[in-house]
Amino acid sequence: MNDKLFQERIDAEKKIEPKDWMPEDYRKHLIRQISQHAHSEVIGMQPEGNWISRAPSLRAKMILLAKVQDEAGHGLYLYSACETLGISREELVKQLHDGKAKYSSIFNYPTLSWADMGAIGWLVDGAAIVNQVSLQRTSYGPYARGMVKICKEESFHQRQGYEIMAEMAKGTPEQKAMAQDALNRFWWPSIMMFGPQDSDSPRTGNAMKWKIKRQFNDELRQKFIDQTVGQAEVIGLIIPDKDLKWNQQREHYDFGEMDWVEFWSVVNGNGPCNKQRLDHHKKAHDEGKWVRNAAKAYAKKQELVAN
Amino acid sequence: MAENATVWEVFIQSKNGLAHKHAGNVHASDKVMALENARELYTRRNEGSCIWVVKSEYIVSSESEDSEAFFDPSNDKMYRHPTFYTMPKGSKHI
């Protein structure tokens, strides 16, 4: 199969499967995007794991544990999808450790209070869902199937976060202030999760042509903002954007300028927690090495016994 | 897993009486770990009543690029379908 036939299959909305011919750049683009997505799920366990031991009730603790376990699962679905492109799990982890592969910048912000668990579930998972719903229609079969599974599990994440925010917003003045503070800190990083404006996003062209991406960054961002504004109003919190207002003509909310200088600074390693997140992942990986070796030695021994 | 981990394909029977269906895969060093990893990864919400795991290397697949030629022989055997046959007028329950 050549490029032209490949594009015809894409245009006909046929899924591409692991053994199908694909342009080298399509494969590379997918490996970069899926691995970044997988690493985000896994690194995303850290800011939330930070609060498991300090959750305010047993109910909250069980929910948070289940959620963090889901994130690990989502990471594994995505690593599996990525491995079908001919790259090993070990190589993917190595690329993360070497800084060659990125993860979503949102996880480089610290989680300072319990309300941050609410803000992450409501806003960060909320933004992720908008993106992932769109990616259920991506052209690469294993990635699309992974997205379907993830979307099924993700809505519990958003709802539990919104419930935390709603509870705190109607609590004591201090609790309400904590919820507002969490919203203030996570709002802008959340809407920047959709990536640069399409006019500044060099890779968008091929990704759309190959139907890896199905909607533009700005389109997805607008969708998320439109659906979130009303949710903030319901629980009496204020979105920290003075330019936010309904535009009757566009039938969308207008919103303020995003701080792309900060965005790129965090992407390039200068966020509050970049070093901490990577160091922790490396440490856990290194300290788990003896377990992996022991499991392997045990498997070998079992084989010897069986033969 | 450590270097060159073994990959296992996971098949889940969602309910007693139904067929097992492919769900995805897991890494594991032995069969017990493969089953346990599959349970943790694919059945956290009561998705299954039974799980099969099988080493991916044992799966044999047809090539999707050859699928036309591979499945072609069934195309010209319309007589395998019930609609091929003409039933006498007035016949019932057949």
- B43 near B54, Cβ under 8 Å? no
Distance CA B52, CA B59 (A): 13
Question: A147 in the Ramachandran plot: left (φ > 0), alpha (ψ -120 to 50) or beta?
Answer: alpha
Residue in A17, A20, A89 closest to B5 by CB: A89
pLDDT band of B3, cuts 50, 70, 90: low
For residue A88, list chain B residues with Cβ-Cβ distance below 8 A.
4
What gap in Å lies between CA B13 and CA B51, rounded to an integer? 6
Q: What is the ipTM of this complex?
A: 0.87
Burial A105-140 (b: 16+ CB within 10 A, else e): bbbbbebebbbbbbbbbbbbbbbbbbbbbbbbebbb
What's this model's pTM, rounded to 2 decimal places?
Answer: 0.92
Q: How confident is the model at residue B4 (pLDDT cuts 50, 70, 90)?
A: low
Q: Where are the alpha helices (DSSP H) in chain B?
A: 31-42, 67-71
Q: How far is CA A282 from the centre of its chain?
A: 20
A198 CA to centre of own chain? 19
Task: Output the pLDDT for position B1.
Answer: 40
Say whether B2 and A295 touch across the interface (CB within 8 A). Answer: yes
Question: Which residues in chain B have their CB less than 8 angstroms from residue A76's CB?
Answer: 26, 41
Lateral strand order in the sheet of B21-27:
B21-27, B7-13, B50-55
Amino acid at A60: A
Distance (Å) from the alpha carbon of A293 to chain B's nearest alpha carbon: 6
Residues 6 or more apart whose CB falls under 8 angstroms from that of A61 comprise A52, A55
**End-to-end CA gap in chain B:** 57
Residues B19, A158: Cα–Cα separation, whole Å: 33
- Residue B26: count of CB within 10 angstroms of its CB: 26
Rounded Cα distance between A115 and A176, Å, is 9
Is it the case that residue B2 has pLDDT exceeding 70? no
**What confidence score (pLDDT) does residue A19 get?**
87
Q: pLDDT digits over A189-230, tens only?
A: 999 999 998 887 777 788 999 999 999 999 999 999 999 999
* Residues A296, B1: C-beta atoms closer than 8 Å: yes
pLDDT per residue, tens digit, chain A (307 aa), is 589 999 999 999 999 999 889 999 999 999 999 999 999 999 999 999 999 999 999 999 999 999 999 999 999 999 999 999 999 999 999 999 999 999 999 999 999 999 999 999 999 999 999 999 999 999 999 999 999 999 999 889 999 999 999 999 999 999 999 999 999 999 999 999 999 988 877 777 889 999 999 999 999 999 999 999 999 999 999 999 999 999 999 999 999 999 999 999 999 989 999 999 999 999 999 999 999 999 999 999 988 988 8
In chain A, what residues touch B25 (CB-CB under 8 Å)?
A: 80
Residues 6+ apart with CB under 8 A from B4: A88
d(CA B71, CA A146): 28
A269: left (phi over 0), alpha (psi -120 to 50) or beta: left
Q: Is the CB of residue A242 less than 8 Å away from at least one CB of chain B? A: no
pLDDT for the residue numbered A306:
85
CB contact under 8 A, B24 and A80: yes
- CB nearest to A296's CB, from B2, B61, B65: B2
Using a CB–CB cutoff of 8 Å, tell me whether A6 touches chain B: no
pLDDT digits (tens, 9 = 90+) for B56-87: 999 998 877 777 788 887 777 889 899 999 99
DSSP H helical segments within chain A, as ranges?
Answer: 3-11, 24-43, 45-49, 58-83, 89-97, 115-119, 125-135, 141-169, 173-191, 204-209, 217-234, 260-265, 274-287, 289-306
Does the distance separating the beta carbons of A73 and B40 come in below 8 Å? yes
Q: Which candidate from B26, B27, B30 shows the least CB-CB separation from A298? A: B30
